[in-house]
A and B are shown apart, each in its own frame.
Chain A
Amino acid sequence: MLTVNHVTGGYPGHEVLQDLSFDVKRGELLGIVGPNGSGKTTIFKVISGILKADKGEVLLKDKAISKYSAKQLAKVLAVLPQHAEHAFPYTVKETVSLGRYAHQTGWFQMWSERDEAVVQKTMEQTGIKAFQDNYVNELSGGERQRVFLAQALAQEPEILLLDEPTNHLDLSYQKELLDLLKKWTREQGLTVISIFHDLNLAGLYCDRLLLLEDGKVNMHHKPNEVLDEARIQSVYRTNIEKHPHPTVPKPQMLLLPEKQGEDLDDLVIDERFLMSNEEMIQLKAPFPLRTMSSGVVGSGTGWYNTFVNRHVEKSYSCSNHREEMEAYLKNHQIDPVETVGMMTAVCLEDVSYQLIEDDGVSVFVVVTAGVGNAVDASRSVEHVYEPMPGTINTWVFVNGSLTDEAFIQSIMTATEAKVKVMHDHHVKDAITGSFATGTSTDSILIAATQRGKHLPYAGTITVLGKLISQGIYMCTSEALNKYRKRVSE
């Protein structure tokens, strides 16, 4: 559709583009990204015929762009500018109608039925029909953007060039516009080339990305390949992190702000932050911790600074225990948004906690245990599902910086240690009579400060793994002993 062949050029005395080559296929959505001054706008001006290339050529449908007259070019290629001037108060319809200029022929350039039909259709597609008689200069930024999009579409182009189309648009319009463009490329074979500032938007919507650096092509490939952490860091010269999008299989580049002041790096999470009464155990961290947990609220992964283990009656039953828990937390002046909350029917006096240190790493473990509904996981099919408040609730606070795999290994290690405790204390499954591996509703929380020592792994014989298994074994044993003592009394 469009081929750029070894284009060198720019402004007199300042060649912005250096031997640039790439191609765009029909129906493709190509995103052009790159830092300021990398030549994004310049290559746009060359493609749209505003600037002439000093060397090389641009082929549009196998014909050099310089061979097109202005009118011929306008029938194939339309441009949505970043901002258009509007010196005089034209109406929306007058503005959109101008897009038909290249299609009107003859001396009198009569307005044909087809012109009218196309204008009506594009106004409908862009959702501006309702205010077609309003003045363009009285519209909001988003509406005005859509008017000029309609104007460009009225040209009935095969290629649409957009210069930062989402600039000045709020979130919903950004999404709406890009969804619309994506749909047109799919359904009507429209080819779209767009400059993006926002790498994440570009990654979400584009088929391919063209990354420019100092007027040269750094990479022209699929978003996942182009949006490489190291590559983007070096091109943009800033600190970013790449993460997968939580719901679609696309990458997201996240900015990392520089740490400002508040030097809490040496702070260790331990019993100083723990408060306990018969209603709840609460740990309030001085800053948010990265967590992975299976609580009632705040479960999954996230950043939380308050951790609550709440005592409920054995008979506790509620159709929506999450909502009830949130209401409970609010009643106690705890913000549910910042909290990981668990429940237990165990008497909270029997809590067991301990700080274990080794080699500059420390782990603070908090356990409440009850084995009233102990289950052997290998024979759990013999049980009927019946949700009950968790009876072994395990909290592990790591004073260190964990990777995602260290989080997962921490859960494994903690679970293995717990199973061993059950075994060593001869806890039996009441239904099967075999050794239990836990209870039916156990909960676990791994929370890390993400400061201090970097801890990539947490397998059983790593530094962290050793601390966790040791802490869990000791605390769970102690908690279990206290529980048994209370039950036997």
Chain B
Amino acid sequence: MLKRFTRMFLLNKAIPYVIASGLLVGAMLLGISVGTVSVPIETILKLMWAEVLNLPSMGETDPMFTTIVLDIRLPRVILAGLVGASLAVAGAAFQGLLRNPLADPYVLGVSSGASVGAVLVLFFNLSLPLIGMFTLPIMSIAASIVTIFLVLFFARQIERSMRVETIILTGIVFSSFLGSLLSLMIALTGEELRQIIGWLLGSVSMRGWEYIAIILPFFVIGACILLVSSKELNAMSFGEERAQHIGVNVAKRKLWILIGGSILTGGAVAVSGTIGFVGLVIPHLTRLLWGPDHRHLLPLAILLGAAFLIVTDLISRIIISPTELPIGVITSLIGAPVFAIILIRRRKERRG
């Protein structure tokens, strides 16, 4: 019985993983290869073979290619991938928890909270002792966690049963409020203006390996918290009371999922600024393709989210080359219409 189940599992469930992984690898190769200087795929594979996997070299490569790939494009692609993965899996978890495919870190105000935290650091040129370089991401993550709890606290004040609509509405109110705080800081700022604006628009360019070191631990911790909660997310998408009846410790799990999602969002915002809509579109797309089971939805969203942001980043830097567009602009340009379509479809479903 178990064997048959495993076999069925492999047959049915392995295909999406193969496709999503293939997309990710393809996106990575494309992201490294395409640019002002085009690097042949073959060269990339050779470099990976030799430098990353430390295997005997398969022939000489141009040192210029080595520098471009290893110092510029590879860290950029990995960072874009991590940010995309973080936002996508956080979005998927928030959507499951709130039982609403319209929820995402951006809508709930968590992104804005993280931005305020980060901009405060930039604005006051803060550098906390002991954590030094990590001041901005830590502040950003702390701010995002504080924000999600404030949102939930206020939603509970408005309505005890905390309907999903109330939470989203509260999140939007917080987003606007925090947005005004950001505008206030921008208005009062002097020389850091360009830095802040550039950061706010979102970008993964010229970050280097240090930024990967910053986001990676948060990504690993956040993703682990969410991945071990995937069953509970399944249960909670039937309502919190139902989940409680099935045996889920709802209060505890909800807290963990919100913290996990906030860590991921905070980490992503800290290294790349606010990149909207990845957390909305990717989970929704994944669910449409492969179903709502969070045990598969979360890992698949990680793979697709990473691939999506790598491609988006590629578009942002080649579309009006040599000028780079902020990546947040591209995701929003794609994301906003998709958001609208989902909204309209849901309304129609409810009415029909």
Q: Which A residues are closer than 8 A to B by beta carbons?
A: 48-50, 69-71, 73-75, 78-79, 81, 84-91, 94-95, 98-99, 101-102, 104, 109, 111-113, 116-117, 151-152, 155
Most chain-A Cβ atoms within 10 A of its Cβ — which of B235, B241, B245? B245
Q: Does B324 contact A (CB under 8 A)?
A: no
> Are the C-beta atoms of A101 and B292 separated by less than 8 Å?
no
Given known contacts A98-B234, A109-B231, is B245 in contact with A89 (CB within 8 Å)?
no
> Are the C-beta atoms of A75 and B247 separated by less than 8 Å?
yes
Task: Please report the C-alpha to C-alpha distance between residue A226 and residue B246 in the assembled complex, in whole angstroms.
Answer: 33
B5 neighbours in A (Cβ, 8 Å): 111, 116
Q: Which B residues are closer than 8 A to A by beta carbons?
A: 1-2, 5, 96, 99-101, 231, 234-235, 237-239, 241-242, 244-250, 287, 291-293
Task: Please report the C-alpha to C-alpha distance between residue A69 and residue B249 in the assembled complex, in whole angstroms.
Answer: 8
The 7 closest A-B pairs by CB, nearest first: A74-B247, A102-B247, A88-B292, A87-B99, A79-B245, A85-B239, A71-B247
Q: How far is the CB of A283 from chain B (nearest CB, A)?
A: 55
> Are the C-beta atoms of A85 and B248 separated by less than 8 Å?
no
6 contacts between A and B (CB under 8 A): A74-B247, A75-B247, A79-B242, A86-B237, A86-B238, A112-B2
B293 neighbours in A (Cβ, 8 Å): 90, 94
B291 neighbours in A (Cβ, 8 Å): 89-91
> Are the C-beta atoms of B1 and A113 separated by less than 8 Å?
yes
A98 neighbours in B (Cβ, 8 Å): 231, 234-235, 238, 246
A89 neighbours in B (Cβ, 8 Å): 291-292
Task: Please report the C-alpha to C-alpha distance between residue A91 and residue B235 in the assembled complex, in whole angstroms.
Answer: 13
> Are the C-beta atoms of B1 and A101 separated by less than 8 Å?
no
Q: How far is the CB of B235 from chain A (nearest CB, A)?
A: 6
Given known contacts A87-B100, A111-B5, is B246 in contact with A101 (CB within 8 Å)?
yes
> Are the C-beta atoms of A101 and B235 separated by less than 8 Å?
yes
> Are the C-beta atoms of B2 and A113 separated by less than 8 Å?
yes
B247 interface neighbour in A73, A81, A84, A117, Cβ under 8 Å: A73
B241 neighbours in A (Cβ, 8 Å): 50, 81
Most chain-B Cβ atoms within 10 A of its Cβ — which of A85, A90, A151? A85
Given contact pairs A85-B237, A87-B99, A88-B96, enumerate 16 new A-B contacts (beta carbons under 8 Å). Answer: A49-B244, A50-B241, A50-B244, A69-B249, A81-B242, A84-B239, A85-B239, A88-B237, A89-B292, A90-B293, A95-B238, A98-B238, A98-B246, A101-B235, A109-B231, A155-B247
A74 interface neighbour in B1, B96, B245, Cβ under 8 Å: B245
> Are the C-beta atoms of A70 and B249 separated by less than 8 Å?
yes
Task: Please report the C-alpha to C-alpha distance between residue A94 and residue B230 in the assembled complex, in whole angstroms.
Answer: 13
A88 neighbours in B (Cβ, 8 Å): 96, 99, 101, 237, 287, 292
Of all chain A residues, the one with the shortest Cβ separation from B250 is A70
A99 neighbours in B (Cβ, 8 Å): 246
Of all chain B residues, the one with the shortest Cβ separation from A110 is B2
B238 neighbours in A (Cβ, 8 Å): 84-86, 95, 98
A111 neighbours in B (Cβ, 8 Å): 2, 5
Task: Please report the C-alpha to C-alpha distance between residue A87 and residue B100 in the assembled complex, in whole angstroms.
Answer: 6
> Are the C-beta atoms of B292 and A90 separated by less than 8 Å?
yes
Q: How far is the CB of A77 from chain B (nearest CB, A)?
A: 8
Q: How far is the CB of B152 from chain A (nearest CB, A)?
A: 18
A71 neighbours in B (Cβ, 8 Å): 247, 249
Q: How far is the CB of B65 from chain A (nearest CB, A)?
A: 43
Q: How far is the CB of B145 from chain A (nearest CB, A)?
A: 24
Most chain-A Cβ atoms within 10 A of its Cβ — which of B101, B235, B244? B244
Of all chain B residues, the one with the shortest Cβ separation from A111 is B5
B99 neighbours in A (Cβ, 8 Å): 85, 87-88
> Are the C-beta atoms of A155 and B246 separated by less than 8 Å?
yes
Of all chain B residues, the one with the shortest Cβ separation from A91 is B291
Most chain-B Cβ atoms within 10 A of its Cβ — which of A78, A86, A91, A98? A98
> Are the C-beta atoms of A87 and B245 separated by less than 8 Å?
no
Task: Please report the C-alpha to C-alpha distance between residue A86 and residue B238 in the assembled complex, in whole angstroms.
Answer: 5
A50 neighbours in B (Cβ, 8 Å): 241, 244-245
B245 neighbours in A (Cβ, 8 Å): 48, 50, 74, 78-79, 81, 152
B2 neighbours in A (Cβ, 8 Å): 111-113, 116
B96 neighbours in A (Cβ, 8 Å): 88
B292 neighbours in A (Cβ, 8 Å): 88-90
Q: How far is the CB of A114 from chain B (nearest CB, A)?
A: 9
Task: Please report the C-alpha to C-alpha distance between residue A155 and residue B231 in the assembled complex, in whole angstroms.
Answer: 15
Task: Please report the C-alpha to C-alpha distance between residue A116 and residue B1 in the assembled complex, in whole angstroms.
Answer: 8
B247 neighbours in A (Cβ, 8 Å): 70-71, 73-75, 101-102, 155
B246 neighbours in A (Cβ, 8 Å): 74, 98-99, 101-102, 151, 155
Of all chain A residues, the one with the shortest Cβ separation from B98 is A87
Q: How far is the CB of B101 from chain A (nearest CB, A)?
A: 7
B100 neighbours in A (Cβ, 8 Å): 87
Given known contacts A87-B101, A101-B235, is B1 in contact with A70 (CB within 8 Å)?
no
Given known contacts A94-B293, A111-B5, A113-B1, is B237 in contact with A87 (CB within 8 Å)?
yes
